């Protein structure tokens, strides 16, 4: 096979892997995070269970996903992403079937425990680890592309859920998504994702170089970098989770009626996708640390505008949405650049734990703050946390600039020159 033919074949395999994982992300997010938005009220109407407990199911699932994330990362590091992603798909299907069959609130919540395990094994962090292990430092564009797929999850699955709901009821929605997981996503992963013994190529070469860089970095310094990164992603995840649940309430507190709040709130989704699209085009020209810095600055700017300039709400939400959109890219690409491809699944799993847990508990804490102090104080608190996150990102940039974590690219260049 000529070099040109080999390149075309490798590109086709790369594209098929990304498309398979991308379809899995759309249906994975759509059948988990975006499911209660459509099903919560129908479940309450049918069963009489308290709405607060129905919504708590998603938080419970996110908590489980965060708790198992470090083990998932180690499993991908040892066994590869294919068996873990397949297991995650099966767990999602099992959890959705249990959700549809649940005769009591207790079993409903248990179903979310199973779904949470599937989330931890199949959503962003697991998918990022899979492509990072496959493609090494070349995975940055693949990670960005996966976030673009994920950004369309609500666009695709909210109408799909509403369609299923009209004809099949809320239990039928759960069974339908379970069928899509088993009938579409599982075969895609089984047929398209490479088996671990076939992995290698660019990813394997990069792993050799980056593991050399990791070994030269003092463990204490690696953990300092990780602590700063975990603090930043946890703050960002908490802010995003709070606004995904309470945004309309907060917007109404600025003087908008519900219809106007909804009309402006929908700007966040397109802004997220737009930010990711721009990052996909420009991101290869700079280190991922700058993706993180841009993200936290945009989020803080958006929240700051909401506090000080309510007439600029549309611009504020576009800023916030763009920053939140590229935050997921930074969460996937920055650990790859800082820690190297060989250890990437392990560090990403460690990073996912506090991030997902913060996202799980923050909406409940925000609800308490909203009840006791009001929407404006809650918004001001979120803006203050966003400013703190800028400081964390700049401190992380300074640590890297001072050479406490040499970039894998530099290590690779040094190795090749020697």
Q: Which of 362, 365, 360, 361 is nearest to 65 (CA)?
A: 360
Q: In percent, how much of the chain has pLDDT > 90?
A: 38
Average pLDDT, stretch 274-284?
83
pLDDT tens digits for 120-142?
999 988 999 999 888 887 888 88
pLDDT at 288 over 50: yes
Cα separations in angstroms, 387 against 29, 197, 331:
29, 46, 18
pLDDT, residue 206, reads 46
Going by C-alpha positions, the residue among 267, 270, 274 that lies closest to residue 247 is: 267
Closest by CA to 13, choosing from 237, 231, 193, is 193
Give yes or no for a contact between 300 and 240, defined as CB atoms under 8 angstroms apart.
Answer: no
pLDDT tens digits along 167-185: 999 999 999 999 999 999 9
Q: Could you tell me if 88 and 182 are in contact, meaning their C-beta atoms sit under 8 angstroms apart? A: no
Q: Which domains does the chain have, with CATH numbers?
A: 13-199 (1.20.1250.20), 205-417 (1.20.1250.20)
Tokens of 140: 């940055």
pTM of the model: 0.80
Phi-psi label, residue 13: left if phi above 0, alpha if psi -120 to 50, beta otherwise: alpha
Q: Report whether pLDDT(211) > 80.
A: no
Cα separation, 368 vs 385, in Å, equals 17
DSSP code at position 181:
I
pLDDT in the model for residue 13 = 53
Query: In angstroms, what CA-CA distances link 79 with 67, 82, 198, 272, 292?
Result: 20, 8, 12, 33, 30
pLDDT(208) > 70: no
* Whole-angstrom distance, CA of residue 296 vs CA of residue 392: 9
Computed over every residue of the chain, the mean pLDDT equals 83
Q: Pick from 72, 77, 85: which is nearest to 20 by CA?
A: 85
Q: How confident is the model at residue 403 (pLDDT cuts 50, 70, 90)?
A: low
3-state secondary structure 198-217: HCCCHHHHHHHHHHHHHHHC
Say whether pLDDT at 46 is over 60. yes
CB contact at 8 A, 291 and 284:
no
Q: What integer pLDDT is reported at residue 416 of this predicted model?
A: 38
291's tokens? 């993706």
């Amino acid at each position: 096979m000529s070099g040109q033919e080999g390149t075309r074949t490798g590109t086709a395999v790369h594209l098929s892997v990304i498309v398979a994982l991308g379809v899995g992300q759309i249906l994975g997010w759509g059948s988990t995070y975006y499911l209660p938005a459509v099903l919560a009220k129908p479940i309450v109407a049918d069963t009489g269970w308290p709405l607060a407990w129905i919504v708590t199911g998603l938080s419970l699932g996110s908590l489980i996903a965060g708790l198992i994330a470090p083990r998932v990362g180690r499993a991908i590091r040892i066994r590869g992403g294919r068996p873990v992603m397949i297991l995650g798909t099966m767990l999602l299907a099992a959890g959705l079937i249990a959700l549809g069959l649940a005769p009591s609130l207790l079993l409903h919540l248990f179903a979310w425990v199973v779904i949470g395990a599937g989330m931890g094994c199949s959503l962003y962090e697991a998918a990022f680890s899979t492509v990072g292990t496959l493609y090494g430092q070349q995975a940055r564009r693949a990670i960005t592309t996966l976030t673009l797929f994920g950004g369309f999850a609500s666009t695709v699955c909210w109408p799909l859920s509403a369609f299923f709901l009209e004809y099949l009821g809320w239990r039928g929605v759960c069974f339908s998504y379970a069928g899509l997981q088993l009938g579409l996503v599982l075969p895609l992963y089984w047929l398209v994702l490479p088996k671990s013994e076939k992995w290698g190529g660019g990813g394997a070469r990069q792993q050799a170089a980056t593991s050399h860089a990791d070994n030269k970095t003092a463990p204490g310094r690696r953990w300092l970098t990780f602590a700063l990164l975990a603090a930043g992603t946890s703050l960002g995840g908490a802010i995003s989770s709070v606004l995904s649940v309470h945004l309309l309430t907060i917007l109404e507190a600025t003087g908008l009626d519900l219809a106007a709040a909804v009309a402006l709130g929908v700007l966040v989704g397109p802004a997220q996708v737009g930010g990711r699209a721009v990052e996909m085009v420009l991101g290869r020209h700079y280190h991922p640390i700058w993706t993180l810095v841009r993200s936290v600055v945009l989020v803080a700017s958006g929240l700051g505008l909401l506090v000080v300039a309510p007439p600029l709400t549309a611009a504020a939400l576009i800023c916030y949405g763009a920053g939140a959109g590229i935050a997921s890219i930074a969460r996937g690409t920055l650990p790859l650049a800082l820690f190297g491809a060989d250890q990437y699944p392990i560090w990403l799993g460690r990073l996912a734990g506090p991030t997902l847990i913060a996202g799980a508990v923050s909406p409940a804490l925000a609800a308490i703050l909203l009840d006791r102090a009001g929407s404006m104080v809650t918004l001001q608190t979120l803006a203050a946390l966003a400013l703190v996150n800028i400081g964390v990102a700049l401190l992380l940039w300074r640590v890297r600039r001072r050479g406490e974590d040499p970039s894998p690219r530099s290590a690779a260049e040094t190795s090749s020159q020697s």
